Amino acid sequence: MKIFTIAEMIAAEKAADAAAKNDDPRGIVYAQMMENAGRATAQAIMERRLIKGKRVLVLVGPGNNGGDGLVCGRVLAEAGAELTFYLFRPRDPEQDINLAQVQQMGLNMLRLDYDQRHRLLRLQLKGVDVVIDALLGTGAARPITGELAQLMRQVQAGLAERRQIMAAQRPQRLMHPDHPPPPYPTGPLIVAVDCPSGLNCDTGNLDPLTIPAHLTVTFAGAKRGHFIFPGAAACGDLIIADIGIHPDLPAVKNITLELADAPQMRTWRPARPRDGHKGTFGKLLIAAGSDHYWGAPFLAAKAAFRAGAGLVGLLTPAHLRPTLAAQLPEATYPYQAAAPVLDAAAAHHLRTTQAEYQAILIGPGLSQDAGPFMAALLAGTEENAGKPNVPPSPPLILDADALNLIAAWPEWWSRLPANTILTPHPGEMARLMGVTTAQLQQMDRVKAARRYAAAWGHILLLKGAYTVVAAPDGRCTLLPFANPLLAVAGSGDVLAGVIAALLGQGVPRYEAAVLGGYLHGLAGQFAAAQVGAAGLLASELADYIPPAIRSLQ
């Protein structure tokens, strides 16, 4: 599933229309795309609301987005809704078949130029159940001014008034104190066609007059701005509808930014043969933990087991072992570092035994005192690189303090095995880049991830709302999750453990990073359905990994 810029979406639509006119079976004309878009929007609304007898107001803009809204309203009217169309600009039925069809049906239609002081608009809003925003779509690139600004202010005021009316109509019931009241609508359902009017679909910038949507239905593919805050917060639930633009058209196929989705992730799941054994499903080593962070090794190892790893070894300081073994007796402890943190001797042990493992994770809870360990480990990797009879290093993941430690080294990226998986949060990413976190936050996350994955020669998983995964070869995938429940200490340790488990089961590195991030985010969605937006422990998050995996089967 592709993620488009505005220019890429325009090019894809033009290519599809041109292909249709050249009798290319991959083509589809603009009129049919508009029909498909409007019908898809109506379908998404009807899947969420019983629409028969409901009062629906469609705000119709002057361009194609308004045409989509006309189709959507017509379909809802055919399903029994009471429709009113409010036109921001006059449209010519001689040139606009969708307007002509609405007029033929005798549906209520109002025009801004005939509505003094927006009285008719405000009257409609007083009794509305669904408002469909088809004013601008992806066409918003500058501040909203003039008549449109006045219109949107009136819509905002009318919606606020409608919410007050609905609150006053809320039934008062006698209720047992142990039973929560049933859900009751707090206002009209707001639906955005393609994107909320005022959202810049390239930058995520949001005009102050934008009307936040409960549901956004976009077409052919998501747009960049749907996943960039503050605009992302105004989209509500995002639905991506197929309108017939063929994925094999070069204008679509050549787009390299993709959105991770369940059908693709299903194809990347590692096999689980019935005659498999623990060796079949991967032997991992996790080098982690210190005096300050006893729990990090446990969280990473537990997540690895939950993600299907056959065997997990923990390389930790010796004094952590009794506590860890009591919590996770399934793990093995191949080496006991005598020092309170992992040191050069531990690094030597890891280098001499690394061929036994299918993946190695370094970093959770390692602490800033483990610099000698990291230096000795990577020095050994450099010394052995390219030597005959020396097996290649297994896939390597660096997380947390492993990233903080190497960030201080000049040209640190040249000291890592090629295609090492790096999993920084924004603060760690800023240190790797040599900038401040504030400077990083001003950058385009996708562009930054792509640029540095290519420059460093490593796979980069930049954590946060809508995590970005980028590879040196230009591949880039966005994960469709922005869940505050995952903002808890130890969540990143769980993610790193899941990726390590997938590597151990033979999933290629880039795919393991994307699939691991997807399963981690999906587990968070499952957890949120039970506990809400806060209160989950990272150790509990790991328990949702198996249901997330099962949901892909």
For residue 239, list its beta bridge partners: 217
- Amino acid found at 370: A
Q: Three-state DSSP class for 151?
A: helix
Omega within 30 of 0 (cis) for the link into 340:
no
Rounded Cα–Cα distance for residues 535 and 401 (Å) = 25
Instruction: Please tell me the distance from the alpha carbon of residue 201 to that of residue 137, in angstroms, as a whole number.
Output: 9
For the chain, the farthest-separated pair of C-alpha atoms sits apart, in whole angstroms, at: 85
| Residues counted in the chain | 553
The DSSP-derived string for 360-380 is EEE-TT--GGGHHHHHHHHHH
Q: Are 463 and 495 in contact (CB under 8 A)?
A: yes
pLDDT of residue 185: 65
User: Is the torsion defined by CA of 269, 394, 260, 424 positive or negative?
Assistant: positive
What the block records as the tokens of 237 is 């639930």
Integer Cα distance of 197 and 199 in angstroms: 6
If you ran DSSP here, which 8-state letter would residue 206 be given? B
Angstrom CA distances, 120 to 67, 85, 261, 295, 443, stand at: 22, 11, 43, 62, 44
CA nearest 223: which of 521, 466, 552?
Answer: 466
Q: What is the CATH number of domain 3-138+150-168+198-255?
A: 3.40.50.10260
SS3 content of the chain, % helix, strand, coil (to 5): 45, 15, 40
- Contact between 251 and 15 (Cβ < 8 Å): yes
For residues 155 and 2, give the distance between their C-alpha atoms in angstroms, rounded to a whole number. 33
User: Quick check: 455 and 463 in contact, CB under 8 A?
Assistant: no
Residue 523 CA to residue 462 CA, distance in Å, equals 18
**pLDDT per position in the chain (553 positions), as tens?**
899 999 999 999 999 999 999 999 999 999 999 999 999 999 999 999 999 999 999 999 999 999 999 999 999 999 999 999 999 999 999 999 999 999 999 999 999 999 999 999 999 999 999 999 999 988 777 899 999 999 999 999 999 999 998 888 776 666 667 766 666 667 899 999 999 999 999 999 999 999 999 999 999 999 999 999 999 999 999 999 999 999 999 999 999 999 999 999 999 999 999 999 998 999 999 999 998 899 999 999 999 999 999 999 999 998 899 999 999 999 999 887 778 889 999 999 999 999 999 999 999 999 999 999 999 999 866 555 555 555 678 999 999 999 999 999 999 999 999 999 999 999 999 999 999 999 999 999 999 999 999 999 999 999 999 999 999 999 999 999 999 999 999 999 999 999 999 999 999 999 999 999 999 999 999 999 999 999 999 999 999 999 999 999 8
Of the CATH numbers 1.10.1040.10, 3.90.650.10, 3.40.1190.20, 3.40.718.10, which one belongs to the domain with range 282-551? 3.40.1190.20
Q: How many helices (H) and strands (E) does the chain have?
A: 20, 19
Q: Which two tokens stand for residue 251?
A: 């204008």
Q: Where are the domains of the chain?
A: 3-138+150-168+198-255, 282-551
Helix (H) or strand (E) holding 497: helix 491-504
Q: Give residue 184's pLDDT.
A: 62
Sign of the C-alpha dihedral computed for residues 449, 454, 456 and 460 taken in this order: positive
DSSP 239: E
Tokens of 79: 């399903």
Question: Quick one: pLDDT at residue 44?
Answer: 97
Burial class (CB in 10 A: 0-12, 13-18, 19+), 358: buried
List C-alpha distances in Å: 256 to 250, 268, 401, 404, 475: 11, 18, 31, 30, 6
Nearest to 401 by CA among 426, 372, 424: 424
Q: Look at the pTM and tell me if it is higher than 0.85.
A: yes
Classify residue 359 as exposed, middle or buried by CB count within 10 Å of its CB (0-12, 13-18, 19+): buried
Spatial separation of the C-alpha atoms in residues 487 and 475, rounded to whole Å: 27
CB of 235 closer than 8 Å to CB of 226: yes
Rounded Cα gap, residues 145 and 156, in angstroms: 15
pLDDT of residue 3: 97
